[in-house]
Structure 1
Amino acid sequence: MTYEPTYTVSLWFRKVLVPIDGSENSLRALDLAEDFSMRYGSKITVVYVCSQCDEVSHVKKKIEERIGQKIEYDFKVINMSKESSVANEILKTISEDTFDAIILGARGTSVNSDINIGSTALSVTANAPITVITVR
């Protein structure tokens, strides 16, 4: 008996959030999101959370160098307050919209390379009410 392929996975990943901080892990998460977009038709929203948003153009340039015009995506900059954190802002973004999944890098721009998963990824993974894919 042969089975026809199903595309159930495409329903799990209709709308995907990708937090970017410019690190290589976050850009690999973007690569995976790009593949989901091309393979399953996922709508990608890239979010950059910052307290002093001096690096927005630099991060945007890294995104464009990585994926160029291959897929359509929304780019959102969140200027967080001093009382908040990157993880809180990502979780707030998830709660304000209807995302099906989040794809994020396991570690950001921290200096200590001995850490397997950063505090932001750990907090989002533990608290997000949607599917979380952590990329290393």
Structure 2
Amino acid sequence: MDLGSPTYTVSMWFRRILVPVDGSENSMRALELALDFSMRYGSKVTVIYACNRCSDAEEVKARVKEKLNEKIEYEYRTVDVPQDSSISNEILRTLSEGVFDAVIMGARGNTTNSDINTGSNALSIVVNAPITVIVVR
């Protein structure tokens, strides 16, 4: 393999990236990584905020917009989680409805227990997603 010339094989693995955000530092770092992929490989980034109580949706959207620049192609969605579902189910449903190549997400969200390294939503996505999942700490 010639290491001197660049290849763009990786760009095919990350054409469309889903980034679940919740406003936590981990999810914002995941967004930064997805945006870097977008700049390097031309990936389209879709940001999803799945929430039970969406009272802070505008605040999260503002935090997302702070990270973006006009060169990034992205889509922002807020998904209101029904009573009979969960945040991870809604993220998985979004994956099944769209054509995504990868998910980049934070290892844990806004949980109050700082002893937990990986949250239940991240674990559920890692185990159940049919595509590449990158977990950011």
Residue 5 of structure 2 aligns to a residue whose secondary structure is coil
Task: State the identity as a percent.
Answer: 59
Residues 44 and 72 in structure 2, CA contact (< 8 A), matched pair in contact too: no
Match of 2:21 in 1: 20
Match of 2:136 in 1: 135
Q: Is the aligned partner of 1:8 residue 2:47?
A: no
- Distance across 1 between alignment mates of 2:27 and 2:129: 17
Match of 1:121 in 2: 122
Residue 125 of structure 1 aligns to a residue whose secondary structure is helix
Segments of 4+ in structure 1 off by > 6 A?
A: none
TM-superposed CA distance for 1:105, in Å, is 0.1
* TM-score, normalisation: structure 1: 0.95
- Distance across 2 between alignment mates of 1:12 and 1:67: 22
Letter in 1 for 2:20: P
Q: How many residues align?
A: 136
Matching of residues 1-136 of structure 1 within 5 Å? 3-136=4-137
Alignment RMSD, CA only?
1.3
* TM-score, normalisation: structure 2: 0.95
Structure 1 gaps, min length 5: none
| CA shift digits 1:80-108 (9 cap, x unpaired) | 10110000000010001110000000000
